[in-house]
Structure 1
Amino acid sequence: MSESNSRRSFLKLGLGAAAIAPVSALGLSSAAFAATNPNNIQWDDEMDVLVIGSGMAGMIAAIRAAETDANAKVVVADKMSRLGGSSLISGLNMAVVGSDLQQNIGVTDDSWELLLKDIEREAKGYNHRELTEVAAKGTLKLYNFLKEHGVKYDMSIGGGTGVKKLGGHSRARCVWPQGGGTEVIKKLQGYCSSQLTNVEIRKKILLDEILRNDEGRVIGVKVREKYRFSRKHDDLGDNDNPTINGSGKVKYYKVKRGLVMATGGYNQDRKFRGDEVGTMYNAASTTQPGATGGAIKAMIKAGFKPIHMTLFRFAFPIPTEDIRWGILVNPRTGERFVDEYNNNDRQAIGMAILEERRHIDGEHTVLIYDQKGAEHYHDQQRFHLSLEGKNGINGTIWKFDTLEALADNFKMNTSLLKANIDKYNKNMARDQDEFHKPKAILKEASSISQPPYYAMQLNPRYNYAQGGAMITPKAEAVDVVTGEPIKGAFVCGEASAGTYGYIRLTACSTIDCGTFGMVAGENAAKTEPWA
């Protein structure tokens, strides 16, 4: 039996049986949603396909739906006044197998199987392989789709080749859209307005509720039009609480074919994410302000099955593999607290940093290099951007002639810092580091001893939520009780879950959003309207 069929059988058996006895013991009914009688609803508007979210996944889904059926009315709705979601502020670099740019540099031995292997190395068995295969197989189709819809690629990358090998990838395959996410969103929106008369894009539309009939099919949504998102809350997730932010007028939209949830993650919802993982209450996030938990809550309320909710992805302003060349210290004590290599496990390093910060009232930990470490940097381009102060928030690296000057800049005790560096150097010389950092991987950079010195405040950024709604390879949402696809419901991009598991490999968020955006849009447009 295949893995896909095995999982499906398990869901049918396990969840189906649970609907009889165990589910009732948990206080649930045989259905995880409250059925809506469409005859009791006075619909304010109707459309064939409704896409919630205007980021890359949502825009691609809308375009694909509109092109699949030119007669289908497609509406894109976003709660924010500024369209584009987190895609708008992302570089949207992406792994592509078989592009013309890759072939131009002589890489002819790449394959989707190799990409799958690279992704699964980071997934650690948490991923659902049938979903990962969709993303790995669809990269070239996505690359060409974007080109056909106006997106150009940045040829300055990779020494003028337009393609680059990034950490974790076994081949040089990663490309950058010209202008990053801002330009991608602009091109996709422009294509809709100039070429697709059946697509309408609406702002300030908050999703309140997903409506399913007694057969379990999604038939529409309850929304609030003219919603006003407020950035004044300490926890931006408070905007999803109607008792705190009740702005907007309630409307009911009849969705005749398919609802596509392309709402992104919930990274900015401090309580929602912190309830899952305590350390995450105070983690910084680089996502757009509207990335809160309202959409996933609406999906859960409607019976969509949530998975991987305790998984998350950290990003650093520098490559994870380049942290190893230095030492991370507590600024108050000058002491190290983690193996900076840690098998390149960004999650483990990130959690160690956040835990250390909890003990020092949120102060930043400091990463210190010497000249040898700087010379071994894998990504020299990023290193020099950091030195020039052009690597974003908390991405700056400072250069110092002496350790005294470094300590003074970060208000550290010079004597304590020097003592701990001396301890590190002596232990590494014997390959007996107290945190088991292996000397062999450091080559000639196994001590902090050659000036000048470099330092930065290293803080993990919560930039991707692996948790979300479970989907099938057709991007269909899965019912939490029956384990079956929910008719008329599709999820794509960061709102879905299962593609990447423990950690998402760099340059792969875009392919998840894009490939499943195409799948969700096409299948939504092909779904038979409900009567």
Structure 2
Amino acid sequence: MPTKNTRRNLIKIGLGAATIAPLSAMGLTSKAFAQTNADDIQWDDEMDVLVVGTGMSGLTAAITAAETNSQLKIVVADKMSRLGGSSLISGLNMAVVGSPMQKNIGVTDDNWERLYADIEKEAKGYNHPELTEVLAKNTLNLFNFLTEHGVKYDMSVGNGTGIKKLGGHSRPRTVWPYHGGTGVIKELLSFCQKKLPNVEIRKKVLITDILRNENGRVIGVKVREGYWFDRDVEDMSLNDDRSFNKTGQTKYYKVKRGLVMSTGGFNQDKAFRAGEIPVMYNAAATTQPGATASGIKPMIKAGFKPVHLTLFRFAFAIPTEDILWGVLINPRTCDRFVDEYNSNDRQAIGMAILGERAKVDNENVVLIYDQKGIDSYHDKQRLQLSLDGKNGTGGDMWKFDTLEQLAEHFKMDVSKLKASLDKYNTNMEQDKDQFGKPKSKLGAASSISTAPYYAMQLNPRYNYSQGGALINANAQPLDIVTSEPITGAFVCGEAAAGTFGYIRLTACSSLDCGIFGMVAGQNVAKEKPWA
């Protein structure tokens, strides 16, 4: 939690200011972008505001901009033929401080400082405090914004309270929009279409270049209209290569007031993410197919400062805190390879799994429980979904009467498997596990020895990329050379970076999208036109 002095200092230097001296103050003002002379461009179209992306952040930004200044011409463009981005297929649960649901269950001691502390604990010092503070202070504002624009909340969760306490949160504060992300996107799109005649939504428009003039101001973009994204390629990022995907006609848009980049993450871009961390190439991604680096690449090319590209967030089909009851086994060697508790660090466990898979031609590892482990589960609901085969791709769990049946199902050597489990049981009995797994955390589940047995292929799901363009508290990207805000540009949602750090706390990505979407929308509407 930030100290009072820290907050006072942030206010003193301005929340929108960089926390280090800009390089321009040191006389280092060379440009990292190719400047564009506006007189040399034959503009095909013009608008006051261009929002790129139709997920929660983009639609929130567009609506806020339109309501801040109803005279603006606002275009919202998406490269896909289906609107909504990854938000459409996400749950978009949200940690909200001060919601009516929270008050109804008698939680009166929650505040933004507690939420800030919970986020920062997961961030491990990688986050930019001024951004985390903006998010933590504005959760109720986002809740109210969504409510005012038609979003309803699911009161069936939390045993009919509409609110739950999720892992990493010090208080019950997480709410669920009705029908998840689909419900949110449907309502926001409907509001734009019915209430905001100055907002135009376009599909199949790919942004390829961001144009900045000699002063560094963003003045427009180069796009491909009529672009068609091919979902049938192994690596979706091939669509970003014009030599592979030739669709679309080149156009130039004059953006008179401001560009809002809300293009999401790059989870589906195998080549881009593997360039940062090679074993990430084979990680399963849960985002929509179009979540490639087509948004971050033009931002980097235009001199937007990228940060945290080597940070990412894994999710599993089952809760991370319920992995420890079992053992993770390499199916070929039948050996364990990691402490399944690992301080409940989902990133460390996920990386260990990917590293082990790389040794065996990317074959999935197997997570094995006995009945004692299953009885120890925290989240019985997700466990039952896995047992019923309803927990999404790769989320199935099977029940076996014997280890022989389990080994046959996963094509494992049963004698080697039994030897590995015997070794684990003996070491755990003495609290001397070879990987340091603490017996004290396991209670009655400190051995794998009681039939029936349960097993699943556990694969980390890459569901969030912390990396993107570094922004300030006004949602402005910073120039990679000068560290100063880039005039005429805003970035929000997963395309932006700095709020979370090492790992994003659960139920907070929707906050980042919506809150900084509101910030970007309000500020872009107030920008003075360059022409």
Q: Deviation of residue 443 (structure 1)? A: 1.4
Aligned to 2:360: 360
Q: 1:15 to 1:530 in 2, by over 3 A?
A: closer
Q: Deviation of residue 9 (structure 1)? A: 6.7
CA distance in 2, matches of 1:452, 1:401: 5
CA distance in 1, matches of 2:162, 2:409: 38
Alignment of 1:145 onto 2:154: no
Alignment of 1:162 onto 2:171: no
Q: Secondary structure at the match of 2:146?
A: helix
CA distance in 1, matches of 2:250, 2:104: 54
Aligned partners of 2:18 and 2:472 also within 8 Å: no
Aligned partners of 2:372 and 2:445 also within 8 Å: yes
Q: Secondary structure at the match of 1:486?
A: coil
CA distance in 1, matches of 2:338, 2:488: 48
Q: Secondary structure at the match of 2:513?
A: helix
Aligned partners of 1:339 and 1:435 also within 8 Å: yes
User: What pairs up with 1:155-304 in 2 under 5 angstroms?
Assistant: 155-304=155-304
User: What pairs up with 1:315-464 in 2 under 5 angstroms?
Assistant: 315-464=315-464
Aligned partners of 1:18 and 1:481 also within 8 Å: no
CA distance in 2, matches of 1:147, 1:371: 44
Q: Deviation of residue 246 (structure 1)? A: 2.2
Q: Could you list the per-position Cα deviations for residues 90-140 of structure 1 after superposition, in whole angstroms to 9, with x for gaps in the alignment?
A: 111111111001111111111111111111111000000100111111111
Alignment of 1:475 onto 2:470: no
Normalised by the size of structure 1, how large is the TM-score? 0.96
Q: Deviation of residue 301 (structure 1)? A: 0.8
Query: Mind listing any 5+ residue stretches in structure 2 that lack a counterpart?
Result: none
Q: Quick one: which amino acid aligns to residue 420 of structure 2? A: N
Aligned to 2:526: 526
Q: Could you list the per-position Cα deviations for residues 386-424 of structure 1 after superposition, in whole angstroms to 9, with x for gaps in the alignment?
A: 111111001111111221211111111111111111111
Matched-pair identity in %: 67
Q: Deviation of residue 232 (structure 1)? A: 3.0
Alignment of 1:310 onto 2:295: no
Aligned to 1:25: none
Aligned to 1:86: 86
CA distance in 2, matches of 1:500, 1:16: 28
Q: Deviation of residue 19 (structure 1)? A: 2.8
Q: Deviation of residue 238 (structure 1)? A: 1.3
Q: Quick one: which amino acid aligns to residue 125 of structure 1? A: G
CA distance in 1, matches of 2:512, 2:91: 15
CA distance in 2, matches of 1:404, 1:155: 45
Aligned partners of 2:425 and 2:446 also within 8 Å: yes
Alignment of 1:130 onto 2:112: no
Q: 1:340 to 1:139 in 2, by over 3 A?
A: same
CA distance in 2, matches of 1:284, 1:301: 28
Q: Deviation of residue 231 (structure 1)? A: 2.0
Q: Deviation of residue 212 (structure 1)? A: 0.8
Normalised by the size of structure 2, how large is the TM-score? 0.96
CA distance in 1, matches of 2:140, 2:374: 36
Q: Deviation of residue 15 (structure 1)? A: 6.6
Structure 1 runs (4+) deviating above 6 angstroms are none
Q: Quick one: which amino acid aligns to residue 19 of structure 1? A: L
Aligned to 1:19: 28
Q: 1:180 to 1:130 in 2, by over 3 A?
A: same
Structure 1 vs Structure 2 CA RMSD: 1.5
CA distance in 1, matches of 2:107, 2:27: 51
CA distance in 1, matches of 2:439, 2:421: 15
CA distance in 2, matches of 1:203, 1:13: 38
Q: Deviation of residue 449 (structure 1)? A: 1.5
Aligned partners of 1:57 and 1:513 also within 8 Å: yes
Q: How many residues align?
A: 522
Aligned to 1:111: 111
Q: 1:58 to 1:9 in 2, by over 3 A?
A: closer
Q: Quick one: which amino acid aligns to residue 472 of structure 2? A: T
